[in-house]
Amino acid sequence: MLGSKIDLFNPQWLDVVFAGRNKAYGAYELRKTNSKTTSRAVIIGSLLFIVMVSLPLIIRYISGILPEEEKEKITEVVLAPPPPINKEELPPPPPEPPKPKIDQVKFPPPVVVPAEEVRDEEPPTVEELKEADPGQKTIEGNPDAEIVIDEPVGEAPKVQEVVEDNSIKDFASVEVLPEFQGGMAGWGKYLQKNLKYPPMARENNITGRVIMSFVVEKNGQLTDIKVVRGIGGGCDEEAMRVLKNAPAWKPGIQNGRPVRVAYTMPIFFQLAGQ
């Protein structure tokens, strides 16, 4: 009938479906035992779920049954007694401080107290303080005692000595460069006025520039004057003479202090009309 329901999981349908087919490869057996396997899986899964949900209750119940001494075990630790103190090994007491050179009279600090607690002890008079120093207690002085100044324990921080810097600084590393008193324009006027063309160089038509090196000292004087590259004909000697007779320059400044600076300068020799 068309309205009837067909149970495809009924075992009799399996025989119809697998009629004339290979039933040994596994599908037939799985279909045949499917209902039993499903029921078994549902029962086992339900039991595992119930056990997992009930596990905290079971643990709490078992904990209540166990006696208290089995729940917690306390281990008693016995400490060894401390070693006996050997009085012979104790350090000796500190020596009594030496007596002061001047007598000392007791001068207790003033303390505000009720009238019934006022002491009968009077502070030292002015006459007593003329001959003795005030202190916490009265001590008879020793006029022959030496004044001892306790030395500090350990090493105090050493004060850095101010060492004068006499090293020669490089031209490019100085904050304020040395210069002639009138600047480069003044230096040009000085050379024009004092530089003399050597006769030998003039006769041999020698021209060019002499490269000179020197050190501008802290006071501006030029020292260590040398010819780095000359052209001969007396020009090298003339350039050295002009630098030796030059007035003091403005020194170079580094960290706010004048320093020695190495300087290199060309001096030009050129004949008129060239």
Q: Containing domain of residue 172, as a range?
A: 168-269
Average the pLDDT over 146-155 and give the result. 61
Is residue 161 one of the residues assigned to a domain? Answer: no
Tell which of 51, 70, 89 closes a domain. Answer: 70
- Please provide the size of the chain in residues: 274
Q: pLDDT tens for residues 105-129?
A: 666 666 666 766 666 666 667 667 6
Task: Identify any residues that bridge with 258 across adjacent strands, giving them in sequence order.
Answer: 253
Is residue 118 one of the residues assigned to a domain? Answer: no
Q: Which tops the pLDDT comparison, 271 or 23?
A: 271
Instruction: Read off the amino acid at residue 120.
Output: D
From residue 256, how far is each of 38, 95, 161, 174, 209 by CA, in Å?
98, 55, 18, 11, 35
From residue 108, how far is each of 96, 105, 136 by CA, in Å?
22, 10, 6
Is residue 148 one of the residues assigned to a domain? Answer: no
pTM over cut 0.85: no
Is 266 within 8 Å of 210 (Cβ atoms)? yes
pLDDT surpasses 50 at 1: no
Least confident interval from 2-6, 75-79, 95-99, 112-116: 2-6
Q: pLDDT tens for residues 40-63?
A: 889 999 999 998 888 888 888 777
Q: Would the CA dihedral through 166, 170, 171, 172 be positive or negative?
A: negative
pLDDT of residue 5: 61
Is residue 117 one of the residues assigned to a domain? Answer: no
DSSP code at position 271: -
Give the span between the Cα atoms of 211 and 265, in whole angstroms: 6
Is residue 224 one of the residues assigned to a domain? Answer: yes
Tell which of 70, 97, 112 closes a domain. Answer: 70
Q: pLDDT tens for residues 223-268?
A: 999 999 999 999 999 999 999 999 999 999 988 899 999 989 899 8
Is residue 223 one of the residues assigned to a domain? Answer: yes
| Residue whose entry in the numeric block shows the structure tokens 């068309």 | 2
Number of independent structural domains in the chain: 2
Instruction: Rounding to the nearest 10 degrees, give the CA dihedral for residues 120, 125, 129, 130.
Output: -160
Q: Which of 212, 231, 233, 211 is nearest to 223 (CA)?
A: 212
